[in-house]
Chain A
């Protein structure tokens, strides 16, 4: 059995309390949400926090609601809860697409949406989903709350804009009519991290793409995005040829790195293929032709 090094443990009773604990214990403290990345890293001693601040008791961060034209996801919403959410699934079916292929039921029952974003693993799925949806992150600190577009949330692998004494509390996504979304992932086996994945959110006006958001996982895309492909599609006819071309552009601009999941050329190929597939499916959903 792998065992972690010694650490202190505190249980936060409110967001303000958690922020206060972060201040008290300093930069060597870490928030504990689902723990499905942090605890294994501690057991492998790749992470050795001096203090864990457990925020699992903060029920106010566990809600999913539709308010003011926005879908609001508390940071502590579990993957399984997002997957099961009727309101989230109705407006953004790509959440279900993605959640179905994130890890396994055990992890999904415990792992959280906010924890996934804050872990900022370049292979993590929800970052690309929120990138495609142009979600906004709500971060709370000593001085109150601030909002950051998810496309500016990550500053590098395993690094985010969340400060040492701040907590990600909510993710918001604007709900707009005429949209469809989809997420497509290739993995070596159920539950594996993505070899590559792509998400697409599409809003149609007639047969034209009114707006589009794309997100790419595990292919070294800057901020998980594919802005050049989005630019190409916006205003263009929603055709198979254009989706394929958008995929080609997305593939051209990402920077995948070879590992045992696959060589660079294959991952680049997947970036294009999966972008096109997600666009195709998102368009079908926008047209009401597929659930």
Chain B
């Protein structure tokens, strides 16, 4: 494992220990469930045991009679307030509490507010709900069958169809395929998975009846978006809503949207006049909060007989669950999936995506997937391997031959994206060299001759992160630009206020480093404030690896504004023209007379002092900025995974994992490597063990950590990391974004390695021992359904 020494504090970019760690490592983090407000009540949610059933009656009288119960809220209660349904992030509606039907197992039916958590849970058992069970739509491939039960009769639908969407040039793509020497096709399922952050979701709503102000402490990656949505849904004036995200124990997209429990907590506080805390338990998190993936893909790739890739086309059936609650830019119902032409110079590409309702939990983008780039990269990287296998080509060579060349940047893809920068062949070469690819292939051949199964998997990914340009991307009509405010106090210490929200990414450190780089002060002298909407500027939050590309750019630019103000103040202090000053390592020096200079701290004091400032220049030292990204940033990476497979049991051991990432300029290499380590572990989880399956009745088969497996250190090899650095040309500091790179890039590397080991063309994830063994028998399992 490569490691960067992280001892001293750099005055800018470089590995330094995370400022937040002293607090977290001492157990002094303050998470939602640590917060206790005076008079606070506790809530619990009654959930549907059925995947699809009509609600005949709900009797809450016994629960209401419980001595510690303060309120029982049902769908009927909410309907009276006009709050039984709430908008989703995809222009659909979702039941807050069910009124007519339940549409997935675990759906919210009633909300109990009580003196303590135990009483709230006990009271759930006192609520009597009569259900009339209905047949459930479980297998997405049958959701559009003519006789499929209709899930969304509330919308007067007559089938389970949500949308059809396409991208690329269908005719041009068909033309390329018709003239291609070779075509490989493959059906691939990217199974439904779950972000499963260590901290589950929750909220404390506190409506102050005197001031009329609603304060919501909540586990959110996007506090400002939450505030606006509360205003729109509940009709509370937005200036009377304060959303506060405390420390967040992991998000991975799970904490972007608003869940019914949050709305119920608000209603509960209004009804009782007291703060109401609701925190879901692990099973609730796995059953009812935003899932990820669930893409059934039929992909095809076309090439010439000499191994030049020509085009890709894909048909996707997207399982969106019972309500279309996907979190993504409004105009893009498949998110950014249409980067699936990947890292290759293709003539044409086309996709058509059909979204369907099923009797499963809503959600859809969560889990570090960069708005469905995870699915896109898996598709192309599997297709390339399938083609290579069919034709007897080396998969690494095939990739190298077809990668977009450095001189082609900025590169416009067949699907309309403009990749900003990269040196793909160099990145792949670095990874292959680090892995010792040729030597590995020799070792594999020797082992195979002895009956041992060893596999080598390669993947190359291009990410598209930093959503996004306002004219192209919005969520619920809110543009995806981020604000930043920087204030330098009289003594030269600074406070930076941001709209994004860390969930473990290390923002307290890395954003302070950006300010430090621009102002030449220590990162230790910069306080980063996030999460409290009353204290921070507007912006859409942290997900999709957008913090560094968007808020990071805003931070650099706001710091530069402050620096230019400091120049004017310094010019008054030193009695020279601003243009005569040079900024050197945190000081403004008079050109040609470096002895005449002022430090940022001296300038800050002067800016707040009685010093006469030039006409039209205000005092103090601060600035604000809103950054509207001109384009996304496009990190890339090349991964090589080496596995050993036990031929008698199908067990996979990941022996080595080489990851070469190019995320542009690295603000804090140690933090970047930590992000990559986490994403690689995620990829091993996806590839080998994680999936949410459902039985024919729609029962959720992964509702605990005994059933939904997350990888542990024992499944992870010692990571071997490398890097190339191709700065983003349009980002102020050349940074890209890296949060999801490894999650996006690693699953196909692991899958390619396992299938390479067992000599099988394709089998769907997760490649559990059973799936590997069945794949070796030529009978792989459907991993989205119950195993029979």
Contact = CB atoms under 8 A, between A and B. Distances in A.
A192 B710 CA distance: 10
B117 interface: yes
A105 to B, nearest CB: 11
Q: Top 8 nearest A-B pairs by Cβ distance?
A: A262-B770, A190-B714, A2-B281, A266-B770, A189-B709, A273-B648, A186-B649, A258-B787
Nearest to B712: A190
Interface in B92-129: 117-118, 121-122, 125
A260 B786 CA distance: 6
Contact of B770 (A189, A191, A195): A195
Contact of A262 (B122, B688, B715, B769): B769
A48 to B, nearest CB: 10
A3 B709 contact: no
Contacts of A259: 787
B33 interface: yes
A273 B647 CA distance: 11
A255 interface: no
Given A1-B281, A269-B773, A262 B787 contact: yes
A261 B768 CA distance: 8
B768 A262 contact: yes
A87 interface: no
A273 B649 contact: yes
A273 B646 CA distance: 11
A186 B651 contact: yes
Counting chain B CB atoms within 10 Å of each CB, the highest count among A6, A104, A266, A274 belongs to A266
A277 interface: yes
A1 B33 contact: yes
B279 interface: yes
Contacts of A261: 768, 770, 787
Given A190-B714, A263-B770, A1 B709 contact: no
Contacts of A274: 649
Contacts of B118: 3, 6
Given A262-B768, A262-B787, A277-B648, A5 B701 contact: no
- Report which residue of B650, B702, B769, B781 has the largest number of chain A beta carbons within 10 angstroms of its beta carbon: B769
* Majority SS at the chain B contact face: loop
A266 B773 contact: yes
A289 interface: no
Interface in A34-79: 44-45
A269 B282 CA distance: 34
A1 B279 contact: yes
25 contacts: A1-B117, A1-B281, A2-B281, A2-B282, A2-B283, A6-B122, A44-B704, A45-B125, A186-B649, A186-B651, A189-B709, A190-B714, A191-B712, A260-B702, A260-B707, A260-B786, A262-B768, A263-B770, A266-B650, A266-B774, A269-B773, A270-B649, A273-B648, A273-B649, A274-B649
Interface residues of A, number: 28
A117 to B, nearest CB: 20
A189 B279 contact: no
A188 interface: yes
Most B CB atoms within 10 A — which of A2, A189, A191, A277?
A189
Contacts of A153: none
A193 interface: yes
Nearest to B279: A1
Nearest to A276: B648
Contact of A3 (B121, B693, B702, B707): B121
B780 to A, nearest CB: 11
B711 A189 contact: yes
Contacts of A262: 768-770, 773, 787
A188 B768 contact: yes
A70 to B, nearest CB: 34
Contacts of B702: 260
User: Which of B709, B781, B786 lies at the interface centre, i.e. has the most chain A CB atoms within 10 A of its CB?
Assistant: B709
Nearest to A189: B709
A258 B693 contact: no
Interface string A184-222: 001011111101000000000000000000000000000
A283 to B, nearest CB: 17
Interface string A1-42: 111011000000000000000000000000000000000000
B763 to A, nearest CB: 13
Contact of A260 (B649, B711, B787): B787
Nearest to B713: A190
B788 interface: yes
Interface string A260-282: 11110010011001100100000
Given A186-B651, A189-B709, A263 B768 contact: no
A6 B768 CA distance: 39
A191 B707 CA distance: 12
Nearest to A270: B649
Interface in A215-248: none
A259 B768 CA distance: 13
Indicate the member of A5, A188, A261 with the most B CB atoms within 10 Å.
A188
